[in-house]
A = this chain, B = another copy of it.
Amino acid sequence: MIAQQRVCRVARDARRIGASRVPLAKAAPGRKVVAHVATATAEKVDVKQAGSFDFNTYMVDRAKLVNKALDDAVPLKYPETLNESMRYSLLAGGKRVRPALCLAACELVGGDVQAALPAACAMEMVHTMSLIHDDLPSMDNDDFRRGRPTNHKVYGEDTAILAGDALLSYSFEHIARATKGVPAERVLRVIMELGKAVGQDGLVAGQVVDIQSEDKEVGLDVLKYIHEHKTAALLEASVVCGAILGGADEGTIEKLRKYSLNIGLAFQVIDDILDVTATTEQLGKTAAKDLAVNKTTYPKLLGLEKSKQVADDLIKEAIQQLDGFDPVKAAPLVALAKFIGYRQN
């Protein structure tokens, strides 16, 4: 039972965007692959085009910008162990999807990318904190992440817990301290949105319900709750905070909120689907973990075809939210939705 729970936990953990078992996207079906390049984080991405928009170059540039800002935000100072531990996980690579969403939303509504950069970094700090804490022995007990020993394997459980706490705390402080040229009311609203995405209405709540649902049959409402809170909530905050910082009106914020919730839920539905298709078609080395532990998934509850339809509808509906915008300005968010929605592994 413990071993089974362990597998279940790994599968659950891998559902998060950015977890090590989720490689960067292959080309979307029917979309031309233009080139492969190494990202700033030394991972490979495939290019998707949205008109003349070069998604790959865009993501590489954004990752560079964000990685530099993160590096500056958490300098190596006394006590070095704490800051080394924070930096070890924060600067360990990753696609920087949340920062990219935040910056893209800010620019879409006419804001300057610098206005949203501290918030974009904060989203990555929170994401990193959640990974450090989830990897702990009392949680998922993972020894490796992104090909390296997990934080607690290097620095010990006590320091790993404290590094997570410091990153979480600093995410809020950094927004308050480093955001420039934006009215204070907007910055406060961003802090509220981020808090909602983390705590008893956010990813922590999703994690608790997921833990409680292990080895249980749960309904679609509970499954949707887990998916929406564990992953979609922080994607929502990333997009909505970018829009707020860029000065979006309420109608625009709500459109982008819908966009982000849709792509967040779609990511998880697709993760469920891939678990099944991987089993059937013998694709991928981490296949069929949900099936192995009899985990409740979208395909289990709705069937494979209906689940595919749900995911497809979610992505289409997400992209529809961008209809009223200048297509050139909306291209990054369109491409990010497709990147998330049409991945093959």
Contact = CB atoms under 8 A, between A and B. Distances in A.
User: What is the interface of chain A mostly: helix, strand, loop, or mixed?
Assistant: helix
Given A176-B195, A187-B188, 17 more contacts: A74-B200, A81-B212, A82-B208, A83-B200, A86-B200, A133-B162, A139-B161, A165-B168, A165-B198, A165-B199, A166-B199, A167-B199, A168-B168, A169-B204, A172-B194, A173-B192, A176-B191
A164 B165 contact: yes
Interface of A: 74, 77-79, 81-83, 86, 129, 133, 136-139, 156-159, 161-162, 164-170, 172-174, 176-177, 183-185, 187-189, 191-192, 194-196, 198-200, 202, 204-205, 207-209, 211-212
A183 B198 CA distance: 25
Given A198-B165, A200-B74, A158 B139 contact: yes
Contacts of A167: 199
A202 B159 CA distance: 14
A165 B86 contact: no
A241 to B, nearest CB: 12
A325 B31 CA distance: 72
Given A74-B200, A82-B204, A166-B204, A161 B187 contact: no
Contact of A82 (B138, B174, B205): B205
Given A164-B165, A165-B133, A195 B173 contact: yes
Nearest to A202: B169
A166 to B, nearest CB: 4
Most B-side CB within 10 Å, residue of A133, A136, A169: A169
A200 B136 CA distance: 20
A196 B174 CA distance: 10
B165 A188 contact: no
17 contacts: A81-B212, A82-B204, A82-B205, A82-B208, A83-B200, A129-B165, A159-B211, A164-B165, A165-B198, A165-B199, A166-B205, A169-B202, A169-B204, A172-B194, A173-B194, A174-B195, A184-B187
A169 B185 contact: no
A199 B170 contact: yes
A150 to B, nearest CB: 14
Contacts of A164: 165
A77 B202 CA distance: 13
B204 A162 contact: yes
A177 B165 contact: no
B77 A200 contact: yes
Contact of A188 (B133, B188, B195, B198): B188
Nearest to A179: B188
Contacts of A204: 82, 162, 165-166, 169
A124 to B, nearest CB: 15
A195 B183 contact: no
A127 to B, nearest CB: 13
